[in-house]
Structure 1
Amino acid sequence: MRYRLLGTSGLRVSEVFLGAMTFGEESGPGASLEESRRMLNTYAEAGGNVIDTAINYRNGDSERFVGELLEGRRDRFVLASKYTVTRDREDPNAAGNHRKNLMLSLETSLKRLRTNYIDLYWVHIWDHHTPIEETLRALDDAVRAGKILYVGISDAPAWIVSRANTLAEWRDWSPFVALQVPYHLLKRDIERELLPMAEASGMSVATWGPLADGVLSGKFTRAERVEGRTRVAPTAISERSHTVVRVVQDVANQLGVTPAQVAIAWIRSRSRAIHPILGARRHEQLVENLGALTVEIPPELMTHLDTATEFGPGFPTNFINATAPWIYGDKGQLVDGRL
């Protein structure tokens, strides 16, 4: 495992992060506490030191699991969590990036994580109803109070991130040192604006979804019977996706590795700013994914992968509308600027 600085800070972070979105068995299939423990220990033994979770993952189970698993060794890890998504679907102010939700979400996460500080606190989703100045100032207050060490932003357009960091520089607030976005062989949109912006400003880029919900691992290239049921991809697989998967498999065959390792190695090769987030429901999956750290893709095979992919339609399709009920709850919608 190699280490880099987190953005413009002096904090050392491992080249891949551990995603804890699967930690917990609430709201669908996930990893049990013992399976989560095995994955965390294996990641730590490999030299990893960043754990990424969020207040809403597994209805809070993820943070509770992480808090229990880090008992007695909390300070050896860079702990990251997020806020924005609703804590209470009946409360219109229990979501968003405003000061009230930030304060209450942060206190909730600190209790679940059994810690008095979070190393990296992410704004989970751009909330276009809350002025970015309000969000930045509230985050800076939490930093000055010692409850947060660094701040980052997830799933936001480049112009918002640039404007936010310009304001932070002018007003001596804590800037966003890291960006979190989706990125894989089927979704290269960040190469247009977000990745160049992050590289130019010295931000780290944590990328999620390296295997495109299992598509790039070859898991869903065809329907198959599993325990009497037909297993299909969570979203329809286009012919273009099938083509990319076949190329990934071809490269994997030539290198003697798995398609998942090729997909992750490709991401790692794109920029030194990038830190792939590796997540898994089973220990064996994480071990396979960590194997990508030793995979080097030769230039000719890299060209083969690049020419098989293309840019998507643009970043606005990549983040979810901030007025969606699952983010703001059933009573958190705005009509003509009013509740």
Structure 2
Amino acid sequence: MEYRHLGASGFKVPVLSFGTGTFGGKGELFQAWGETDVGEARKLVDICLDAGVTMFDTADIYSRGTSESILGEALKGRRDKVIISTKATFRFDDNNPNAVGSSRFHLIEAVNAALTRLQTDHIDLFQLHGFDAKTPVEETLSTLDDLVRAGKIRYTGVSNFSGWHLQKSLDVADRYGYPRYVANQTYYSLIGRDYEWELMPLGLDQGVGAVVWSPLGWGRLTGKIRRGQPLPETSRLHKTADMGPPVPDEYLYRVMDALDAIAAETGKTVPQIALNWLLQRPTVATVLIGARNEEQLRQNLGAVGWNLTAEQIKKLDEASTVRPAYPYWHQQGFAERNPFPV
């Protein structure tokens, strides 16, 4: 397994990491994702570790803490062999007005609760799950600084931030000497390339590595969706399509046509090709793969150990290109001064 530095830090992570959103299955969204229990989770962890996948990502809102608890049980006795990544910010308790956001109160409570559920004394990578516009950035960063100094967190990152959210936070961190964010857990896929418009150039400039979530486009790039065919009965999109990013049908089919052509050339599966394409993009440190069973996990692990050719990447780039929003389409007209990140 290849390892890469996480942003501008000295910390290395595997290029594939395991996302545990399928652990627990509590609530409509997470039940549709999967209902992995402790026994099955241990088997999936075993497969990951055998393949060199040592980073496991979760969040407090995944099945209301159950994902963290199951992961903690599955990792028992091998904490020193793994990297644990978790997140907090979104509302966790409907009855507590302070159980939300990135305030000092909530972050301290959230980290302590996560440590208990994960059965560990530290979190290797802690990320804010979203931006909190109602809490001063200085309060958030000073709290994270305290948690780092206390040894409860090793590295910090964000998720679902806009460019100005992230840059403002980095500027405040530099001003006061707080730890800089080194990770941006971001939505990015062949059918969701908005990350490239602003967050990717920012990541290159500021040393923030991408931790990619939903690399198969909210389950659309599994290879089961084809032009002129109904959605498979087993697809979770029947329940979750409206909860995720919209994708026009014709755009999806155009990308699938390119993926199918390359699959025929390489003998690889559609998901493996989609994941491999991401691993060759600028700033990408690690791609989160999820799986409801061993078969899915083993297939996703086949995304490493080989590379798409330059011509194949070009074919996928062209099939998945969309006109970006302003001012990015305007900037693309002046590539001499605004080149695509490399």
Q: TM-score, normalised by structure 2?
A: 0.86
Structure 1 gaps of 5+ residues are 316-339
Aligned to 1:223: 230
Aligned to 1:63: 68
SS of the residue corresponding to residue 120 of structure 1 reads strand
- Choose from 236, 248, 263 the match for 1:252: 263
In 2, Cα distance between equivalents of 1:311 and 1:299:
20
- Choose from 293, 300, 303 the match for 2:311: 300
- The answer to whether the aligner puts 1:88 opposite 2:93 as a matched pair is yes
Equivalent residues in 2 for 1:187-226, closer than 5 Å: 187-221=192-226, 222-224=229-231, 226=233
For the structure 1 residues 294 and 194, does the alpha-carbon distance in structure 2 shift closer, same or farther, using more than 3 Å as the test? same
SS of the residue corresponding to residue 303 of structure 2 reads helix
- Choose from 146, 149, 153 the match for 1:144: 149
In 2, Cα distance between equivalents of 1:314 and 1:16:
30
In 2, Cα distance between equivalents of 1:79 and 1:116:
11
For the structure 1 residues 144 and 41, does the alpha-carbon distance in structure 2 shift closer, same or farther, using more than 3 Å as the test? same
Does structure 2 retain, via aligned residues, the 8 Å contact 1:189–1:314? no
Aligned to 1:335: none
Equivalent residues in 2 for 1:42-191, closer than 5 Å: 42-191=47-196
Aligned to 2:38: 33
- Choose from 297, 304, 316 the match for 1:286: 297
In 1, Cα distance between equivalents of 2:124 and 2:278:
25
Does structure 2 retain, via aligned residues, the 8 Å contact 1:206–1:274? yes
Q: Percent identity?
A: 36
Aligned to 1:12: 12
Q: For residues 282-330 of structure 1, what are the alpha-carbon distances to aligned partners after superposition, in whole Å with 9 as ceiling and x for unaligned?
A: 1111111110002311111211111111247559xxxxxxxxxxxxxxx
Question: What is the identity, as a one-letter code, of the residue corresponding to 2:305?
Answer: T
SS of the residue corresponding to residue 293 of structure 1 reads coil
- The answer to whether the aligner puts 1:268 opposite 2:240 as a matched pair is no
In 1, Cα distance between equivalents of 2:239 and 2:110:
36
Structure 2 gaps of 5+ residues are 327-342
Does structure 1 retain, via aligned residues, the 8 Å contact 2:13–2:286? no
For the structure 1 residues 19 and 12, does the alpha-carbon distance in structure 2 shift closer, same or farther, using more than 3 Å as the test? same
In 2, Cα distance between equivalents of 1:265 and 1:248:
11
Does structure 1 retain, via aligned residues, the 8 Å contact 2:215–2:289? yes
For the structure 1 residues 93 and 268, does the alpha-carbon distance in structure 2 shift closer, same or farther, using more than 3 Å as the test? same
Q: TM-score, normalised by structure 1?
A: 0.87
Question: What is the identity, as a one-letter code, of the residue corresponding to 2:268?
Answer: V
Q: CA RMSD in A?
A: 2.1
Question: What is the identity, as a one-letter code, of the residue corresponding to 2:54?
Answer: N
Does structure 1 retain, via aligned residues, the 8 Å contact 2:14–2:54? yes
In 1, Cα distance between equivalents of 2:179 and 2:239:
44
SS of the residue corresponding to residue 265 of structure 1 reads helix
1:108 offset after TM fit, Å? 1.0
